[in-house]
Amino acid sequence: ADAKAGRAVARAKCQVCHGIDGIAKMPVAPHLAGESDIYLQTQLKAFRTGKRENEMMSVVAKGLSDEDISNVAAWYASIELSVKVPE
Amino acid sequence: ADAKAGRAVARAKCQVCHGIDGIAKMPVAPHLAGESDIYLQTQLKAFRTGKRENEMMSVVAKGLSDEDISNVAAWYASIELSVKVPE
């Protein structure tokens, strides 16, 4: 998969809600930063087949090829995540 | 909602796959760290009603009360997230 090509897909189709950095720009959207490749691909394909439904994602996913899905998943999976847990 | 009580729910029912820190312990599970309260509650309730399906989560969610859902969502939402984006 080509994470750089995936960043272009993210810029065109994902950034408004998810950000290029994978930090959600609105509460209804999840963060994608650092999610695993398998999780991202599974969810995008589920939205594309209708196994998972969301009024926004069902439409967006229909416009993604297998290659787009593989590349955009590689992009978001390549983002490094760190957390600060409350005491 | 009570994030501390939510941490106890996480310890009992979520940590094996999602970690108490919300960083997934296996590729099939998503990170929960820093996800918004509304996203987490919406997904847990979808798993509980069957609107969203997953062999593991459909079972786990059936065992969560509204209070558990509200508290565990508050716990994971309280975790601070930072990212490092590749050049």
Task: Find how far residue B21's CA is from the centre of its chain.
Answer: 10
Residue appearing with tokens 């760290």 = B33
In a domain, residue B19? The reply is: yes
From residue A24, how far is each of A14, A28, A50, B34, B36 by CA, in Å?
10, 8, 23, 10, 9
Domains: count for chain B: 1
In a domain, residue B87? The reply is: no
Residues of chain A with C-beta less than 8 angstroms from the C-beta of B85:
20-22, 79
Instruction: Give the list of residues 6+ apart from residue A74 with CB closer than 8 angstroms, or none.
Output: A1, A2, A3, A6, A37
Contact yes or no for A30 and B30 at CB 8 A:
yes
**Residue A87: band (very low, low, confident or very high) from pLDDT cuts 50, 70, 90:** confident
What pLDDT digit, counting tens, does each position of A7-57 carry? 999 999 999 999 999 999 999 999 999 999 999 999 999 999 999 999 899
In a domain, residue B61? The reply is: yes
In a domain, residue A87? The reply is: no
Q: Determine the residue of chain B that is closest to A22 in CA distance.
A: B83
CATH number for A40: 1.10.760.10
In a domain, residue B86? The reply is: no
In a domain, residue B25? The reply is: yes
What is this model's ipTM? 0.86
What pLDDT digit, counting tens, does each position of B44-63 carry? 999 999 999 998 999 999 99
In a domain, residue A52? The reply is: yes
- List chain B residues with pLDDT less than 70: none
